[in-house]
Chain A
Amino acid sequence: MKNPIENLNKIFDSRIRMGVMSILIVNEEVSFNDLKKMLDVTDGNLASHMVNLEENGYIKVHKGFIGRKTNTTYSITRAGEKAFKDHIEALENMIKGMK
């Protein structure tokens, strides 16, 4: 029998990274501040998770300006979308397997 958890993506173990991916998959572009508010986390905490996701090629960073303030927004990449969908599928299979 195949071990279902081998399909789970280690990167999405973190609740925050999983939350970021859930938000980005249904929204084209989300700013750092909006993510922070929706996930209720601190700047530093969120930033480190975002770097992790970016290094894995799951999200793209866009740096822009609103007036003189920097406005960083994020969007999901193809690879990120696929990885996240595979992760959800693995979770579903685990549930089916438990029944």
Chain B
Amino acid sequence: MFYKVLYMDSQHPPLETLQDIKRMMERSSRFISLSGWSGICAGICALLGAWAAQQRISAYLQVRRNGRTYHGENDYVSESAATLYSDLIIIAGITFITAFISAFVFTWLRSRRNGTPMWDRTVQRLAWNTILPMVIGGLVILRAIELHYFELVAPGCLIFYGLALVNASKYTLGEIRYLGYGQLILGIINLWSGVNGLYFWAAGFGILHILYGAIMWWKYERQR
């Protein structure tokens, strides 16, 4: 029994010590301030972006169907495929930037509340391992657009983003891996489905993000 007395004397009970060790391991190797709100906001941005793109595409299709008589003389010329593409790229760019900024803001707020630095080694590792697959994927998609393989754009986004998330899961909350698997499954199905890729894109970037963000918020940030 005497060791129990000794243990009572020591300042740190074993369970607390083990919890301390676990916390230090996690804090030093993973970026744990990723906020669920970031996922929710990015998802909402994606849904709005997909909606805008859908509107733009159906407007284009309608003008084509109705021909020049419907819109007056020169409108049909201006409604060429080229302007549709440039509009869609602008929509995609705005969607990406707003999603990124809103995701950043909530994570920044949470890291401030947690008292963890926003730009330490863990963030640098997380950023590099997420950005690398995304940039490579972006280049592949760019080339697909140049070659007019438009069917590959949505599945390409989903697949490379999914791979980026699975890769990132080693450097932040591990659950992000499942969001990555979800994106990958949607992307692969979309490769062969032949259905409008925009729906798959909206499901992956919109609905899955919101779902993931809500679950993460429930699990880690809810005030209990």
Interface residues of A (CB under 8 A from B): 3-5, 13, 15, 18-19, 22-23, 25-27, 30, 34, 37-38, 88, 91-92, 94-95, 98
Contacts and interface: CB of A to CB of B under 8 A. Distances in A.
A95 B21 contact: no
Interface of B: 2-4, 6-7, 10, 12, 14-15, 17-18, 20-22, 24-25, 27-29, 117, 120-121
Contacts of A94: 7, 14
B47 to A, nearest CB: 38
Contacts of B14: 91-92, 94-95
Contact of A27 (B12, B20, B29): B29
30 contacts: A3-B3, A5-B6, A5-B7, A13-B10, A15-B12, A15-B20, A18-B20, A19-B20, A22-B20, A22-B22, A23-B25, A23-B28, A26-B25, A26-B28, A27-B28, A27-B29, A30-B121, A34-B120, A34-B121, A37-B117, A37-B120, A38-B28, A88-B21, A91-B14, A91-B18, A92-B14, A92-B18, A95-B14, A95-B18, A98-B4
A99 to B, nearest CB: 11
A71 to B, nearest CB: 13
